[in-house]
Structure 1
Amino acid sequence: MAEIVAVLILAAVVLVMATLGAVLLAKLWMKTASGGTRVLAASVFGPASVLIPILIFGLATDPEDFVYGLVGVGAILVLVSVLVGFPISYFSTRKLDKLTHFELSTFE
């Protein structure tokens, strides 16, 4: 039982870190986009960066079941994006926007 809990905690940490990285990349690559667009992009591409290698590995090992794997990874991606990706990307994007918004009074 302890092994299962450890794996779930590790998976959660990996998903959180991937989502935080996606928030930073969205801030760098989507400078003119609104905050909501960047939140949506980060909440999808963060977990996708973790799940797409699993899908590629599944394609390499058993190409006949690729469609089932695609549907399964897609369903898991939607679930993880809503449960893990969105809250983390929403709050970290808001915090990052506050930290990167410079006021001129700071440099006077």
Structure 2
Amino acid sequence: MLRGFVLTLALLAGTGAAMANCYEGLGCDDSAYFSKPQLRQLSCQSLWEVRNMIYQQNGYCFQSDRARKVFSNAGCWINDQGAVKLNVYERKNVATIAEVEKSRGCN
């Protein structure tokens, strides 16, 4: 029994499972869908930070100087953004944030 528990813990530790970030007025990025009206309340900088925090917590190694300065690449393990495994909420939230950023002309 103990051996099975230890094996389960080892497998979970090896998955690199992300921990959610939760935001007042939005919810947690891995278990709630962010709405466009909610996101429109955020600045371009905040939208960029929330979107990139989702990638950071899932192991992405940032390529731009701006992102590396804000997020650091300590502990990252994925160099290709397209290879980052996002759950259904994270994937939708990243897409919705990107849509709002584009509609507002954010850089």
- TM-score between the two structures when normalised by the length of structure 1: 0.29
Structure ranking higher on relative contact order (CA contacts 8 Å, 6+ apart) = 1
Q: When you count helix as a share of all residues, which structure comes out higher?
A: 1
- TM-score between the two structures when normalised by the length of structure 2: 0.30
